[in-house]
């Protein structure tokens, strides 16, 4: 089967799950490729195992001669459907000018992509996000006849619910990654309950074949790790402030892997902590991240709710850390408690609560044997429920059933 997976930004190091799904579809014997809406991100790190998918990715510009000619063909083939799509967009976003404008800008590319996919013999369209990728898939499907479905992760459903019910009713399926999201889609967005399927993201099962860490010996410090984009919603400032509250008797280091708009501000904040305790290593390829996790004593994911309702789904970094048997502390946010069960598979704190995070870190570092027992339970949970091969197979079954 020939499948196109639709995303906005590509490649994007924080969206490795999108590539992991395409890799799994290919391993299952299908012709799976990525179609990205926005221009190629040439400065992004590409993990070696994903290079062939990146090289084969498809793209059409917003306004190019090819986009225009294919869009006109799509419009001429399905004039009534095209007008209905545009009317639906106006109706959904009449009070949200930003989303209205972007959705209308996407119409020509979506029409063109539908015709491009027809010519290429594509049999299924799968949008990795419920926002603009699902909008493109919906328009392309309406004007090309190719069935589509989409996934819902996090801020792609939290920022706006415009068009969600329309796209869901036309889609063959809606896949989401947590029970939290399922309830939100049904109760807040009006998505038909029978359309929604909970299929987790996941990590490769070989990542969960790791020994638990040994407690530090002698003068060795506790190694704390953060991996993620340096953006306000990731809460790295909360983590840095929490570390300032730890007792001086605890010796620790913090390694920060990732880049983003908050880099300079976070480096400034880190200067208030003892010199040499915090290192900023920037974005790193997957093998370097795994290596950092393999020597970490604790991984912290201190996410907060961001602007416009931007929020985590269930961060892949948590799955990766737990798969490697690392103790974790995370925010009680969105679907995270479905993976990190407080006191059983890890520790949870209220988002943005500096003192609560400091207390949890101190407790983990001071009672490390208990933390390791939770890490073992967390590793078992990832093995059983967050296996990328099993979950991608479930997703593929939905796509084939479309």
Q: Any idea which residue has 């996410």 for tokens?
A: 303
Q: What is the pLDDT of residue 60?
A: 95
Domain tally for the chain? 2
Nearest to 339 by CA among 371, 305, 302, 377: 377
Domain match, 326 and 227 both: yes
Which residue(s) pair with 3 in the sheet? 32, 124
Q: What is the average per-residue pLDDT within 113-126?
A: 97
The 10s digit of each residue's pLDDT in 35-91 is 999 999 887 777 777 789 999 999 999 989 999 999 999 999 999 999 999 999 999
Residue 207: is its pLDDT beyond 90? no
Alpha-carbon distances of 101 from 59, 69, 75, 93, 97, rounded to whole Å: 21, 22, 19, 9, 6
Whether 272 and 300 share a structural domain: yes
Q: What are phi and psi of 92, to 5 degrees?
A: -75, -35
Q: Domain range spanning residue 177?
A: 2-202+387-401
Distance CA 305, CA 147 (A): 34
pLDDT in tens, 18-37: 888 999 999 999 999 999 99
pLDDT of residue 334: 94
Alpha-carbon distance of 396 to 172, in angstroms, equals 13
Q: What pLDDT, on the 0 to 100 scale, is given for residue 330?
A: 98
Asked whether residue 311 carries a pLDDT value surpassing 90, the answer given is no
Domain match, 183 and 252 both: no
Hey, which bits of 81-157 come out as E strands? 124-127, 148-152
**Angle, vertex CA 125, rays to CA 123 and CA 129, nearest 5:** 165
Give me the CATH number covering residue 224: 3.40.50.2000
Rounded to whole angstroms, the Cα distance separating 329 from 367 reads 14
Do residue 62 and residue 114 come from a single domain? yes
Residues 138 and 271 in one domain: no
84 and 175 both lie in a single domain: yes
- Assess whether 187 and 245 both reside in one domain: no
Instruction: Please report the pLDDT score of residue 186 as a whole number.
Output: 96
Provide the token pair at 379: 């590793």
Whether residues 229 and 273 fall in one domain: yes
């Amino acid at each position: 089967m020939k499948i196109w997976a639709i995303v906005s930004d590509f490649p994007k190091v924080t969206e490795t799950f999108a590539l992991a799904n395409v890799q799994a579809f290919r391993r299952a014997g299908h012709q799976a490729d990525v179609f990205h809406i926005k221009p190629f991100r040439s400065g992004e790190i590409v993990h070696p195992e994903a290079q062939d998918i990146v090289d084969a990715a498809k793209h059409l510009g917003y306004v190019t001669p090819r986009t225009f000619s294919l869009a006109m063909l799509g419009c001429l083939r399905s004039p009534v459907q095209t007008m209905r799509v545009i009317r639906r967009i106006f109706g959904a976003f009449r009070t949200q000018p930003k989303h209205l404008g972007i959705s209308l800008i996407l119409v020509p590319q979506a029409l063109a992509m539908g015709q491009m996919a027809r010519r290429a013999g594509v049999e299924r369209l799968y949008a990795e996000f419920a926002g603009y990728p699902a909008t493109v898939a919906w328009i392309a499907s309406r004007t090309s006849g190719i069935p589509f479905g989409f996934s819902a992760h996090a801020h792609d459903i939290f920022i706006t619910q415009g068009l969600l019910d329309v796209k869901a009713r036309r889609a063959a399926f809606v896949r989401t990654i947590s029970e939290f999201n399922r309830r939100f889609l049904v109760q807040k967005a009006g998505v038909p309950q029978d359309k929604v399927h909970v299929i987790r993201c996941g990590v490769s099962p070989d990542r969960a074949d790791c020994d638990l860490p040994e407690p530090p010996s002698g003068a060795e410090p506790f190694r704390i790790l953060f991996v993620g984009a340096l953006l306000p919603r990731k809460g790295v400032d909360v983590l840095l402030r929490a570390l300032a509250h730890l007792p001086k008797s605890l010796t620790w280091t913090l390694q920060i892997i990732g880049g983003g708009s908050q880099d300079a501000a976070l480096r400034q904040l880190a200067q208030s902590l003892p010199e040499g305790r915090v290192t900023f290593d920037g974005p790193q390829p997957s093998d370097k991240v795994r290596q950092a996790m393999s020597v970490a004593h604790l991984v912290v994911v201190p996410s907060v709710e961001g602007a416009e309702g931007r929020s985590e789904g269930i961060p892949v970094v948590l799955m990766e850390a737990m798969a490697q048997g690392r103790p974790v502390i995370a925010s009680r946010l969105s679907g995270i408690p479905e993976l990190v069960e407080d006191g059983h598979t890890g520790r949870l704190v209220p988002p943005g609560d500096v003192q609560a995070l400091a207390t949890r870190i101190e407790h983990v570092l001071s009672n490390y044997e208990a933390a390791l027992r939770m890490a073992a339970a967390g590793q078992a949970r990832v093995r059983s429920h967050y296996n990328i091969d099993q979950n991608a197979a479930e997703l593929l079954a939905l796509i084939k059933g479309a």
